[in-house]
Structure 1
Amino acid sequence: MPSRPRPSLPLRWHLVRLVVGTLLPIVAFACGLFFFFARAEREAAERRVLTSARSLAEAFDSDMAGSVSTLEALAASSLLDAGHLQDFQEQCARVLKTQRGWLTVILATPDGAPLLNTSFPWGSPLPPVAEPESLARVSQTLRPVVGNLASGRGPQQRLAVPLRVPVLRDGELRFVLTAVVAAEALGDVVARQASDDVEWTRTLVDGRGYVAARTRDPARFVGRQATPSFLERTRTSHEGVYADRSLEGEPVHAAFSRTESGWTATVVSPRRVLDAAARRSLLAGGLLGLAMLLLSIIGAWALARRIERSISEAADAADALARGTPVRMGLAEVRELARLNEALERSGSLLEARERERDALLAEAEVARAEAISATRAKDAFLAMLGHELRNPLAPIVSSMERLRLRGLAETPEHEVIGRQLNHVVRLVDDLLDLARIVRGQMSLHREPVELADVVARAAEAVAPLISQRKHTLELEVPRSGLTVFGDADRLTQVVSNLLTNAAKYTPPGGMLKLWVEALPEQVCLSVEDNGEGVAPELAERIFAPFVQGPRSVDRTVGGLGIGLALVQSVVTAHGGRVELHSEGPGTGSTFTVWLPRHTAAEPPAEAPPAREERAGQEAVAAEAPLAAKPRVLLVDDNVDAAEALADLLEMSGYPVAVAHDHRQALQRLESFTPDVAILDIGLPEVDGYGVAASLRERLGEASPVFAALTGYGQREDRSRSEAAGFQHHFVKPVRLEELVAFLEQHRKSRRGAA
């Protein structure tokens, strides 16, 4: 059936479409230029705002430096050396009159006891020192300190800022001299920085985030805390410009710069001021582009009518020729109409080629995306297979070493070396897989109230062989109670163990290691200090990144993969804490400090021990109960060495064991052996461990054994799958004998009849 011809459009519409298609890229390019120029103008405005913030910070530092210089001159007074404090107070009062904005001068002891205050007559009772935090910083640093905004202790309780300088004699801190500067004086500092930009608001914020001075509405906002978004941004950067809302709730662009004293100078400009140029440029570009487009469409429409007139005349001439009437043709204005059609066809072909190129690029991008997803999945599968393949050969080695130990054949130093290195390999595998789980966000925590003293004890016991091998001295300062946190005991033990291991590795033999724990009001602080190699500044910035290590010798005596500290940071962060490194550089040792949230919930009361009569009754019942029989164990593993070694260990521990290496052998063992517990390898040939468990349940029915998985796959999804399949436990190779025995002891069955 022939297809219907497509409806045609008048020539004028084709010309309009051509004009629109041609001009749109030009209009878009012009709008892009307008946007570029508007953006450049806005960036220049942001630089001006940031320069103003820097100038304000410099002016504040300069003003504070002048006051500090005056205080330091007072601190050098000989009246203090002679102990003439009353005369010194008169001297301070004279200086006070010369200083703009000073409210009072205070002399205090390093522990904060006031000795004189120019606002009170000599001998009068003096109020305590306000804002003691800055006083403590002077005592710690022995340097001048600009304190934070605080309310005065006098009757007016005016907002003021303390400037404190240490009074040193022979290198010893004797007194702390303080000048209390009124908040209004800081207002003069910001007012002096005012410019013609009346829309800008200049603000000084103290170290705690409170507004100390402001050019706009200071009576309302001085003494209030800055916005949370401002505090968050200024904590992480020294200076910058960002979009925010002002204290009045108005959309603004805020520029800030940190002062030398820890304060923040801020210049705020309404967004409409900085964005006005961009809006004007975009509006002008849009209107200009629209006007060009409309004019072009009108011109194309007029031209099309003229061309249509010529074509209509030619058609009328052809009709006239067919009717045999005289042909009357006017002068044609278009001589190359056919070439115009060809040009349009070429334009269409060009557009189609560009679309095909775009489709090809999209197809290539989709292929690259699919390859990236496939590579990620392959990496995850490789890590899971890596754990399985590494743990499979480790399992028989660990079991064989345990057999030698139980037989008394592992007492030589060589066996101790093998045991230590084997444990090291197992730990490397576990760390590598732990890191893979953390990177994928699959780390699970079993939280409960945990006493850090117990965690430290377990970690110190685990690291004791390494510390002894390197002849270190470990000093522990850990209170036995009062250090409760809410977390995963095993993961926290891993954190402390990794920190101790790191300190032991990077400290030369015979070094000193120290671990102490301190209970703070809302946190518990744990620190590990060593006098070892220390950390260079360029390495300290990325020490917690995976696979980052310090300088290694050719023999790699300290070993490791460089993921221990990455695990520490990930586990601590997952517990809501943080970890920091402090080191003065190479050869100065290092200190790792961990802060964890303190658990304050009330602990359940301990159960009282049963009375003597109750205990006696329980012992009598236990004596009359039938003796528990060792459970019979069916062990199925295609790794012959691992299966035979583990079976030998279980038999040495008194458990009846039957061994099979595949599905068929496991079913054959049922003909002469009924197991109480079945320990199945998941990765069996032909039929996996889940299929073997299903066959055993089908064959034995209600007499089915308790199932436990024994595999090299230890990811979270592997454990979830084994649990869903009815397995009571998921052991990861190499399994520890005491863990396996503890599981078997939970499933003893009572003997029937007399023993």
Structure 2
Amino acid sequence: MRTVPLKTQLLLVAAAAILPLAVVCGISLSALFESQRAQNEASSLGVARALATAVEGELRLTMSALQTLALADPLGTADGEGKAQALALSRAVRASHPEWRGLLLADPSGRVVFSTETDRPTSANVVKRSSFDATVLTRRPVAGSMARGAGGNLAFPVRVPVVRDGVVKYVLTAIIRPEAIAAMLRAQRVPEGWYVSVFDANLARIARTVDDEKWRGSGPIESLKPFFQALGHDKQELLGTSTNVDGVLAKTVLARLDEGGWTLVLGTSLSKAESSWWRTAGAYVLGLLASLILGGTGAWWMSKSITMPMRSLRDDADALGRGELRPSGMSRIMEIDAVARALESAAVQRAGSEAEREELLQLESHARSAAQAAEQRLGLLVNASAVLSGSLEESDTLDAIARLMVPAIGDACWIDLLGKQGALLPRLSHSKWTEHSGRLAEQDSMPVHSAETPQVLITALKTGKPSLHPSGQTGEDDGCSKDISALVPEFEAVAACVVPLIARGRTIGTMAVLQAGPSGVHQRFA
């Protein structure tokens, strides 16, 4: 199974905790974007309607002024005695409207009766007959399309009928400068980055809020023509995306005016319109990145604060395996501290258990040694019983006793027997380094009370009790000065056990069992 570091797992936990929030925020952001887009579209449509209403209001003001003038009595008799008065009145009205290039009056056939811009009689006919004929036909005010006059100046007409007795006698026309529409648009304080143009029925640009003089009289850009075609005659508004004459990709709104078939085009730069959304999206992305960074940092810090105590726990466990006792540190994590204390307690318990086990092993070893010694003693006794019961001859019995003592009890055995005169007679010696054993000569006998007789033998004869001499001396406590090794000069004894030989309640001799030192025995004896 593949192992994953704790740091990676914590990072995955942090990411898993942040992911649902990121998804929810993303969905909310998308909904917010859609809401902002709809709001921007609604705002653009509202501004376009307001601007179209403002342009229509400007045209209606002009129409109202012309209609008021058309109701004057001199205008009804402009071909006769009222012509001079009608011309004077028209010039007075023209003077109060500097945005007008002039006023002219024409009969229904299109013949110009007079013009405020000249005193000479004229026989000219009106131009742009479509708006003129529409006024005569509908008997309603009409805003015509823009055209270039005789002086080369661009202007558009606003025409109203002069009706008397239900009959259109004349058509009063005001020639309007297109700058008036541009000034009116600028007065609306259109936000920066918004572009507004007004087109007439022939798709000629009457006014624009930016670079008006440069683009005056031009037609719509190619990317905008499909919008005019889609608008048709049955729609009043249309919204889409196009590129304007400045090459700026813009959200475009077309609004048709009720007067003259004019169209107002409003364009808002997509970069500016969506800047708030991008700012929101940027804030969301930055927030998400910050959350991931904070989550990753927190996961790293938490993993470090966990892995370091866990590493210490691992060392504690290794030390416990080696039988070492290490004090547990504090990690400020309750669970890890509990495990550390448990390991420390386990180490203490293990040390106690090992000490107890060692003590038990030692006791068992001592018991086993004691049992083995007892077993050996029992075996020795059994063997001795068997050997001693095998013959009644003195020499055989003594030889059997010596062979039982060496090497089971000691390294050498020395046996003395009391003679008839009360002297100790050396009868047998035996060691593990030689097969020499048997009777010794009679001249080797010595009186019991002789100064040459070792004190330990005399003590054994008198007391009838055995004695141990671990240091190899005859016994410093009783004042004896003879060394037990004097029995066998060639033997370097370091310890001895002397026992009396008792038969039928009577002491008949002594037996000394000796233990050799590190150097063993002299060369001559070996």
Q: Which range, TM-score by smaller chain?
A: 0.5 to 0.7
What aligned pairs does 1:150-299 form with structure 2 within 5 A after superposition?
Answer: 150-152=147-149, 154=150, 156-194=151-189, 197-233=191-227, 235=231, 237-239=235-237, 241-261=239-259, 262-299=261-298
Query: RMSD of the alignment, in Å?
Result: 2.9
TM-score, scaled relative to structure 2: 0.56
CA distance in 2, matches of 1:223, 1:81: 35
Q: Which amino acid aligns with 1:248?
A: D
Aligned-residue sequence identity (percent) comes to: 26
CA distance in 1, matches of 2:310, 2:193: 64
Q: How much does 1:319 deviate?
A: 3.6
Q: Which amino acid aligns with 2:141?
A: P
Contact 1:243–1:254 under 8 Å retained in 2: yes
Q: What SS is found at the alignment partner of 1:157?
A: coil
2:132 counterpart (127, 135, 142)? 135
CA distance in 1, matches of 2:18, 2:75: 84
Q: Which amino acid aligns with 1:78?
A: D
Are residues 231 and 143 of structure 1, via their aligned partners in 2, closer, same or farther at CA, if it must alter by over 3 Å? farther
1:147 equivalent to 2:154? Answer no
Q: Which amino acid aligns with 2:211?
A: D
Contact 1:39–1:278 under 8 Å retained in 2: no
Contact 2:75–2:162 under 8 Å retained in 1: no
Q: How much does 1:63 deviate?
A: 1.8
CA distance in 1, matches of 2:11, 2:267: 49
2:115 counterpart (117, 120, 128)? 117
Aligned length: 328
Contact 2:195–2:208 under 8 Å retained in 1: yes
CA distance in 2, matches of 1:164, 1:189: 20
Contact 1:106–1:116 under 8 Å retained in 2: yes
Q: How much does 1:321 deviate?
A: 4.0
Q: How much does 1:269 deviate?
A: 3.1
C-alpha distance after superposition, 1:292-327 (max 9, x if no partner): 111111111121123223433444344444444446
1:102 equivalent to 2:100? Answer yes
C-alpha distance after superposition, 1:171-205 (max 9, x if no partner): 3333322111111222222122125x343333322
CA distance in 2, matches of 1:336, 1:117: 104
Q: How much does 1:34 deviate?
A: 4.9
Are residues 30 and 336 of structure 1, via their aligned partners in 2, closer, same or farther at CA, if it must alter by over 3 Å? farther
1:79 counterpart (61, 68, 74)? 74
Q: How much does 1:8 deviate?
A: 1.2
C-alpha distance after superposition, 1:57-104 (max 9, x if no partner): 222222211221222233334335443274233432332222231112
CA distance in 1, matches of 2:225, 2:118: 37
C-alpha distance after superposition, 1:490-516 (max 9, x if no partner): xxxxxxxxxxxxxxxxxxxxxxxxxxx
- Equivalent residue number for residue 29 of structure 1: 24
CA distance in 1, matches of 2:40, 2:5: 52
- Equivalent residue number for residue 409 of structure 1: none
Are residues 336 and 207 of structure 1, via their aligned partners in 2, closer, same or farther at CA, if it must alter by over 3 Å? farther
C-alpha distance after superposition, 1:587-628 (max 9, x if no partner): xxxxxxxxxxxxxxxxxxxxxxxxxxxxxxxxxxxxxxxxxx
CA distance in 2, matches of 1:254, 1:21: 43
Structure 2: gaps spanning 5 or more residues: 337-526
CA distance in 2, matches of 1:109, 1:124: 13
CA distance in 2, matches of 1:313, 1:93: 106
C-alpha distance after superposition, 1:421-462 (max 9, x if no partner): xxxxxxxxxxxxxxxxxxxxxxxxxxxxxxxxxxxxxxxxxx
Q: How much does 1:16 deviate?
A: 0.8
Are residues 10 and 165 of structure 1, via their aligned partners in 2, closer, same or farther at CA, if it must alter by over 3 Å? same
CA distance in 1, matches of 2:264, 2:274: 23
Q: What SS is found at the alignment partner of 1:124?
A: coil
CA distance in 2, matches of 1:166, 1:229: 38
CA distance in 2, matches of 1:95, 1:309: 96
- Equivalent residue number for residue 474 of structure 2: none
Q: What SS is found at the alignment partner of 1:8?
A: coil
Q: How much does 1:20 deviate?
A: 0.9
CA distance in 1, matches of 2:270, 2:44: 12
Q: What SS is found at the alignment partner of 1:175?
A: strand
Structure 1: gaps spanning 5 or more residues: 1-5, 338-755
C-alpha distance after superposition, 1:551-610 (max 9, x if no partner): xxxxxxxxxxxxxxxxxxxxxxxxxxxxxxxxxxxxxxxxxxxxxxxxxxxxxxxxxxxx
TM-score, scaled relative to structure 1: 0.40
Q: How much does 1:274 deviate?
A: 2.0
- Higher Cα radius of gyration: 2
CA distance in 2, matches of 1:115, 1:246: 43
- Equivalent residue number for residue 439 of structure 1: none
Q: Which amino acid aligns with 1:20?
A: A
2:49 counterpart (47, 54, 78)? 54
CA distance in 1, matches of 2:317, 2:88: 119
Q: Which segment drifts farther, 262-271 or 27-36?
A: 27-36
Contact 2:113–2:122 under 8 Å retained in 1: no
CA distance in 1, matches of 2:97, 2:326: 108
What aligned pairs does 1:3-42 form with structure 2 within 5 A after superposition?
Answer: 6-34=1-29, 36-37=31-32, 40=35
Q: How much does 1:162 deviate?
A: 0.7
Contact 1:35–1:281 under 8 Å retained in 2: no
Q: How much does 1:328 deviate?
A: 5.6
Q: How much does 1:329 deviate?
A: 4.5
Q: How much does 1:125 deviate?
A: 4.0
CA distance in 2, matches of 1:15, 1:60: 65
CA distance in 2, matches of 1:265, 1:60: 9
- Equivalent residue number for residue 392 of structure 1: none
C-alpha distance after superposition, 1:499-536 (max 9, x if no partner): xxxxxxxxxxxxxxxxxxxxxxxxxxxxxxxxxxxxxx
Contact 1:130–1:151 under 8 Å retained in 2: no
Q: How much does 1:38 deviate?
A: 5.8
2:60 counterpart (50, 65, 85)? 65
CA distance in 1, matches of 2:330, 2:296: 26
